[in-house]
Amino acid sequence: MPTPPPNAPYWTYFIPLIAIGLVILRNSRARRLRIETLWIMPVVILALVGLSFTQQATPSPLMLGIDIAAIAVGALLGWWRARFTHISVDPATHQLTSRASPVGMLVILGIFALRYAVRLYAAQSASSLGVPAIAIADALLIITVGLVCAQRLEIALRASRLLAEARAGGPTSA
């Protein structure tokens, strides 16, 4: 999501907040969960970020270390957020539904806020960080990759387990 320039009018800051609010409202309702389509978003994000990286020079060891740390942080946040997602199985039809918890939505809101703060700080003091600004931008992209991939994997694993239990006659929600 593009960030308004530092001298932008205050109303431009409300557009991302409205978008986040709409996402939170959308995620607060139970939605049908299809295990077979959970792989699509990670593949799309991996492809887009991969294309972005093909336009750059080979990363230095420092940038590579930052990228590895970023994917680990993103994966941890994605796994943590997915743990708060409520998944249930209809006992009669075995249809899966998922609903994001308020805690999971607050995690996303916190990530957006942190990303925005880091982006502002990096833009204002990139030279004092000792890290190129592109490394920070890359790390923010890679956090997203880790978050989406780990979240979808955790949800797929839990949903598959719940569906297998429901078909065997066990518990039907987690």
- pLDDT tens digits, residue range 32-44? 999 999 999 999 9
Half-sphere exposure of residue 162: CA atoms within 13 angstroms, side-chain side: 23
Tokens of 102: 């308020």
Give the model's pLDDT for residue 5. Answer: 56
- pLDDT tens digits, residue range 75-106? 999 999 899 889 999 888 989 999 887 777 77
Query: Which of 174, 158, 154 lies closest to 74 in space, CA to CA?
Result: 154
List, in sequence order, every beta strand (DSSP E) within the chain: 31-33, 86-89, 96-99
Prediction pTM value? 0.76
Mean pLDDT, rounded, for 124-140? 74
Are the beta carbons of 73 and 150 closer than 8 angstroms? no
Tokens of 14: 């409300």
Instruction: Let me know how long the chain is.
Output: 174
CA 130, CA 168: separation in Å to the nearest integer? 57
The full 3-state SS of 57-88, as one line of letters, equals: CCCCHHHHHHHHHHHHHHHHHHHHHHHCCEEE
- pLDDT tens digits, residue range 51-81? 888 888 888 888 889 889 999 999 999 999 8
Q: Where are the domains of the chain?
A: 43-168
Q: For residue 81, give Cα distances in angstroms to 36, 84, 105, 162, 170.
A: 20, 5, 8, 18, 25
The structure tokens 């680990």 sit at: 72
